Structure 1
Amino acid sequence: MTDFFVSTGWLAEHLDDPGLSVVDGSWYLPAQGRDARAEYEAGHIPRAVFFDQDVVVAPGSTLPHTLPPPEVFATFAGSMGIGRDDTIVVYDGPGLFSAPRVWWMFRIMGAKDVRILEGGIDRWKREGRFVTDKPTKVAPCLFEVAFDPGRVASLDEMRRVVETGTAQVADARPAGRFEGVDPEPRAGVRGGHMPGARNVPALSLGRDGRLLPPDELRAAFETAGIDLTKPVVTSCGSGVTAAVLVLALETLGHADTRLYDGSWTEWGGRPDTPVATGKA
């Protein structure tokens, strides 16, 4: 068991610590009706920098949120004043939606101590803690990247997984989209799921801005048909909430976990990939 969270009380107590980086990793679907950057500019946790998940991406990619090459990520991180040896605390609005994606990115790029703020800035504000609209001043630094490519799955690798069953696929999208009943939010993307995939909706794994207790987490994966003793690849719409599943699996001590970065936008947006509908 590993706990990747810090409490609002802990962060408030340690805001002045040297070597602490606070990162607003908020990103929202259009249906959520929230503007991440506007909320950051209106009031953010002191010392927080804004990590724009629509900008820190692979240059020229036609897919949303594509993981940038290591050297590109290092440039972004360094410009935000974040070092690989920092204690990095990431937050979003509700606490367990987009922050895990930033947590995952920093970790696979070599950061050693990355945490998520439980309850996010929504809880921080409800508790009456201080926020500021003043820009965070940072001193650019060198982020010494140490990329782990084994934690990311490509389209070709996913084709092999689907064809051979060498790993399980856990899909984090809501059930309606997984089953092909509800439309995808992006034009030109088919409904349904990869043959053999199992549905573990990301929003079902949290409560009050943090993960469910371990026994409930295990039950959620096992009920979905995921064997926690075998390899798992996580997927979602564009690679954001798939990281919630990675977070849950690693919290349970599951080490053989990869994230399909292209996720359903890539798979469902192609004419040459097999698609299944209905319940798994």
Structure 2
Amino acid sequence: MDALVTTDELAERLGSPGLHLLDATWFGSLGAAGRDAAAEFADGHIPGAAYLDLGHLEQTAAEGEIPGIARHLGALGIDDAATIVLYDDSPYRTAARAWWLLKRFGVAASLLDGGIAKWRREEKPLQTGQGAPHRASRDVRYDGSRIRTKPDVLANLDTQDEQLLDARSASRFTGAELDPRGLPTGHIPGSFNLPYGQLFAPDGTWKRGEALREAFDASGVDLDRPIVTTCGSGITAAVLAFGLHLLGRDAALYDGSWTDWASDPATPKTTVTL
């Protein structure tokens, strides 16, 4: 299956053997106007979908517990032959974060282009309730080659081997806007800025081809050189990573991102006076 699946393509394949839909809606540590992802899933989701508790999956992954990841996926009915399609209804586009996290553990997945918002606009069918997926056995393997840590980023300030691309808004990147966690403002020295929302068309679908490439080009990064994506806490950095994946690039991700960097008084920070 392609990296992106259209709503029409998914509608035609609903109920197909081996197809597993996962609702990866998550609102992160800051929340989103008090919304409850699990409750919204129960109120209406794509038929046959299971709710992926991304917060729990994040915690399990952070603990480096490969058996725990396997159990989590197995409890959703996902076996080694599963075809996975992720979607969300989060302003942070958290299906991309789920994609990146699963990829880190050797699990391939596609994204529903436009998410459940587009599915609803097209008045496609919805299902209520929690669902009861069958349990399965799933093998996973850990690959940390595309994860960057603060020591990695500090070392890169000198070598400049990799480009840093920040997914936050321009005002947070420059330091004009206060950090929502109360941290110092600004960005990692030498970073480029590409607000993640610029990767989407007005209808919420992903830009493709030349339009997507132009969004990255406008940020100043060189697509032919290694890129590390970053953001506030590692969530929307995955949106940039998925966008680069659509362009055939395999980016790394600084998982701690600005929260990790700015929390350390010793790390250099750059602000921009406009």
Output the CA distance in 2 between the equivalents of 1:9 and 1:200. 30
Report the counterpart of residue 23 of structure 1 in structure 2.
22
Q: Does 1:102 align with 2:101?
A: no
In the TM superposition, what whole-angstrom CA distance separates every residue of 1:205-264 from its partner, at most 9, and x where no partner exists? 111222213212222222211001100000111111111111111111113x10111111
Output the CA distance in 2 between the equivalents of 1:14 and 1:40. 20
Matches within 5 A, 1:18-97: 18-28=17-27, 30-31=31-32, 34-58=35-59, 66=62, 68-93=64-89, 97=93
In the TM superposition, what whole-angstrom CA distance separates every residue of 1:188-207 from its partner, at most 9, and x where no partner exists? x2211100110011011111
Q: TM-score, normalised by structure 1?
A: 0.89
The verdict on how the C-alpha distance between 1:124 and 1:249 changes in structure 2, with shifts beyond 3 A counting, is same
Matches within 5 A, 1:104-253: 104-112=100-108, 114-187=109-182, 189-207=183-201, 208-253=203-248
Asked if the contact 1:86/1:111 (under 8 Å) is kept, the reply is no
The verdict on how the C-alpha distance between 1:50 and 1:86 changes in structure 2, with shifts beyond 3 A counting, is same
Asked if the contact 1:94/1:122 (under 8 Å) is kept, the reply is no
Q: CA deviation at 1:68?
A: 4.8
Q: State the Cα RMSD in Å.
A: 2.2
In the TM superposition, what whole-angstrom CA distance separates every residue of 1:150-193 from its partner, at most 9, and x where no partner exists? 12112221221223211000000111111111122223x22111
Asked if the contact 1:58/1:69 (under 8 Å) is kept, the reply is no
The verdict on how the C-alpha distance between 1:154 and 1:85 changes in structure 2, with shifts beyond 3 A counting, is farther
The verdict on how the C-alpha distance between 1:195 and 1:230 changes in structure 2, with shifts beyond 3 A counting, is same
Report the counterpart of residue 252 of structure 2 in structure 1.
258
Q: CA deviation at 1:77?
A: 1.3
Output the CA distance in 2 between the equivalents of 1:31 and 1:96. 9
SS of 2:120's equivalent? helix
Asked if the contact 2:192/2:221 (under 8 Å) is kept, the reply is yes
Q: Following superposition, which runs of at least 4 residues in structure 1 exceed 6 angstroms of deviation? A: none
User: Which ranges in structure 2 are unaligned for 5 or more consecutive residues?
Assistant: none
Letter in 2 for 1:110: G
Q: CA deviation at 1:106?
A: 1.4
Asked if the contact 1:90/1:115 (under 8 Å) is kept, the reply is yes
Report the counterpart of residue 62 of structure 1 in structure 2.
none
Identity of aligned residues (%): 38
The verdict on how the C-alpha distance between 1:267 and 1:95 changes in structure 2, with shifts beyond 3 A counting, is closer
Q: TM-score, normalised by structure 2?
A: 0.91
The verdict on how the C-alpha distance between 1:53 and 1:68 changes in structure 2, with shifts beyond 3 A counting, is farther
Q: CA deviation at 1:8?
A: 1.2
Asked if the contact 1:67/1:261 (under 8 Å) is kept, the reply is no
User: Which ranges in structure 1 are unaligned for 5 or more consecutive residues?
Assistant: 60-64
